């Protein structure tokens, strides 16, 4: 297994590969309503590749965590849609997606990426990290130290979302 925190130099060596990999994994891991479309991933990768933590098994992307940095303390649907809202010096690490290919679930791969992302965010001087999740995942993210803030106003993918936060 190889864990990669993407960066501009690495991304620019093979942008189509990374775009194909993250788009495919997202499609395989989420419902159609929740999955990020290819064109949004293209924008995200071109603006903030350093917001992608990727885990490969050989040439196959099996798990990822992605999200950008901002000074805004709450995650909004606008952030999912507009990669330009990224602030590389932002105090908060937003987490847009945590996913693992269905064939690789229940082996701790997403947890490995979450721990690395939190370690990197803390080392980068962030104030903390914020995510939204479904009720069924509240206990999972609590294991990493996240606390439930509130019911989120997010309409992303339909249904009810909860905002969770960890402070460093």
Measured distance CA(154)–CA(160) in Å, rounded: 8
Number of residues that this document lists for the chain: 168
- 164 vs 156, residue with greater confidence: 164
Measured distance CA(150)–CA(6) in Å, rounded: 31
List domains and CATH numbers for the chain: 2-126 (3.40.630.30)
Which 3 state secondary structure label does DSSP give 89? coil
pLDDT tens-place string over residues 99-154 = 999 999 999 999 999 999 999 999 999 999 999 998 999 999 999 999 998 877 77
pLDDT of residue 80: 86
pLDDT of residue 107: 97
Q: Phi/psi at 20 (nearest 5 deg)?
A: -60, -45
pLDDT tens-place string over residues 82-96 = 999 999 999 999 999
pLDDT tens-place string over residues 34-79 = 888 999 999 999 999 999 999 999 999 999 999 999 999 998 888 8
pLDDT of residue 155: 67
pLDDT of residue 96: 93
Q: Does 157 have pLDDT greater than 80?
A: no
Q: With a threshold of 0.85, does the pTM exceed it? A: yes
As beta bridge partners, residue 131 has 95, 164
For residue 65, the surrounding DSSP H or E stretch is strand 60-66
Tokens found for residue 27: 């499609």
Neighbours of 5 (CB within 10 A): 16
8 near 44, Cβ under 8 Å?
no
């Amino acid at each position: 297994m190889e864990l990669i925190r993407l960066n501009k130099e690495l991304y620019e060596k093979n942008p189509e590969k990374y775009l194909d990999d993250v788009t495919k994994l997202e499609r395989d891991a989420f419902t159609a309503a929740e999955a990020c479309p290819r064109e949004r991933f293209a924008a995200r990768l071109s603006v903030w590749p350093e917001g992608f933590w990727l885990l490969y098994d050989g040439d196959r992307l099996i798990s990822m965590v992605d999200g950008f940095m901002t000074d805004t303390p709450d995650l909004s649907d606008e952030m999912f849609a507009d990669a330009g809202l990224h602030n590389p010096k932002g105090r908060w690490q937003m987490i847009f997606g945590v996913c693992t290919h269905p064939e690789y679930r229940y082996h701790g791969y997403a947890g490995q990426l979450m721990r690395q992302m939190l370690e990197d965010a803390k080392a980068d001087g962030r104030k903390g990290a914020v995510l939204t999740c479904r009720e069924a995942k509240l206990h999972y993210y609590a294991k990493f130290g996240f606390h439930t803030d509130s019911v989120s106003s997010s309409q992303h993918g339909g249904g009810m979302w909860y905002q969770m936060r960890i402070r460093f």
